[in-house]
Amino acid sequence: MTIELTRWQMTSPNHPMECSTVDFDPSTLAAGRVLVEVAGCGVCHTDLGFLYDGVRTRHELPLTLGHEISGHVVAAGAGAESLVGAAVVVPAVLPCGTCDACRRGRGAVCAAQFFPGNDDHGGFASHVIVPSEGLCRVDEGALAASGVGLASLSVLADAVTTAYQAILNAGLAAGDLAVFVGAGGVGSFGVQLAHALGARVVAIDVDAARLEVLAQHGADLTIHSTGDIRAVKKQVRDWAKAQGLPPTGWKIFETSGHPAGQELAYELLNYDAHLAVVGYTREKVSIRLSNLMAFDATARGTWGCLPEHYPAVVDHVLSGRVHVAPFIEARPMAELNETFEALHRHELKRRPVMIP
């Protein structure tokens, strides 16, 4: 018995993705691999980088992009049979779990990690083949009770969990000041997570409409940035003082993926601050690196989220502490090319989730 797999494949940069089908025999699945029927796949800034900005995939083209995946396991290779039928979120970064980096808790730099839509075919498809190790099972009873659809959970695979990993890396605690520069796909969820963990949260963005939404979802202060770094820094400092928050030790999250946002985030550094670099741009930014020394501050990047943290994030969403629906929009997978083009033109305000 075979299953027809439909895939939208990138064949070359700056070229529309092409839809194709292939017959797949589930009995040929390798040990430790599963076949997931895709419920939804979110579109990430990284996907745009692959298609439009010259970012190279590790797997040769043609390749199906998409690394924010949720769905049901419909077939499994040896050793993974217990997962058949399970609702799952597929982590965007799946470490091997056995190498030296993984044993040291540094799965983010695992050389054998699996990144769907980069190392092999991803989730802009009807089905995707992924490793079974590290998949996050979702309790369908809790899912039904929450009113959140499985497709909507696809964005947990990167946008929500990467923000969570950055928060963990920063050591954010209740009562801390968290500043998010960029209130888009990752920043909007980071704001909510920081708020859920008891931090006081500032959201900064160039889009006033995004800030309006976040004012109702965890942001204690929103700042519409017009490019005046000095003015933004003063506004954050004055507000923190008025709230009785410490003038040092801020947790600053760069989630814009834009050079201006990265420059602003760096300039917000103060004594004992932590700068989490989460956004990505290929453009260079000019900064005075010695500020890290002078402020005894820390800067750290975040690459994905370790699979062991996914259940906590799922709980935040299903319990209603973090809301997904106001920040995403469902679109038919057949409109994938049109969606990429609209995102490239900066026309969409919400993160698209493609539905097969």
pLDDT tens for each residue of 324-341: 999 999 999 999 999 999
Q: Which residues contact 348 (CB under 8 A, 6 or more apart)?
A: 329, 339, 342
Q: Quick one: pLDDT band at residue 64, thresholds 50, 70, 90?
A: very high
pLDDT tens for each residue of 235-266: 999 999 999 999 999 999 999 999 999 999 99
Q: What's the pLDDT score for residue 32? A: 97
The overall longest dimension of the chain from CA atoms, in Å, is 67
Percent of the chain with pLDDT over 70: 100
Q: What residues make up the domain containing 227? A: 159-301
Greater confidence, 148 or 227?
Answer: 148
275, 342: one domain = no
pLDDT tens for each residue of 182-216: 999 999 999 999 999 999 999 999 999 999 999 99
153, 163: one domain = no
Q: Quick one: pLDDT band at residue 1, thresholds 50, 70, 90?
A: confident
Helices (H), 182-248: 187-196, 208-214, 229-242
183, 139: one domain = no
Which H, E and C letters describe 131-196, residue by residue? ECCCCEEECHHHHHHHCCCCHHHHHHHCHHHHHHHHHHHHCCCCCCEEEEECCCCCHHHHHHHHHH
Structural domain total, the chain: 2
172, 295: one domain = yes
Q: How far apart are CA 352 and CA 12, in angstroms?
A: 22
CATH number of the domain enclosing 58: 3.90.180.10
Q: How far apart are CA 169 and CA 281, in angstroms?
A: 21
145, 72: one domain = yes
pLDDT tens for each residue of 105-158: 999 999 999 999 999 999 999 999 999 999 999 999 999 999 999 999 999 999
Token output for 103: 């044993």
88, 129: one domain = yes
CATH number of the domain enclosing 288: 3.40.50.720
81, 136: one domain = yes
320, 291: one domain = no
118, 258: one domain = no
59, 133: one domain = yes
Give the containing element (helix H, strand E) for 100: helix 100-103
166, 142: one domain = no
3 state DSSP class of 299:
strand
136, 249: one domain = no
Among residues 278, 301, 324, which one ends one of the domains? 301
Q: Give the residues across from 179 on adjacent strands.
A: 202, 252
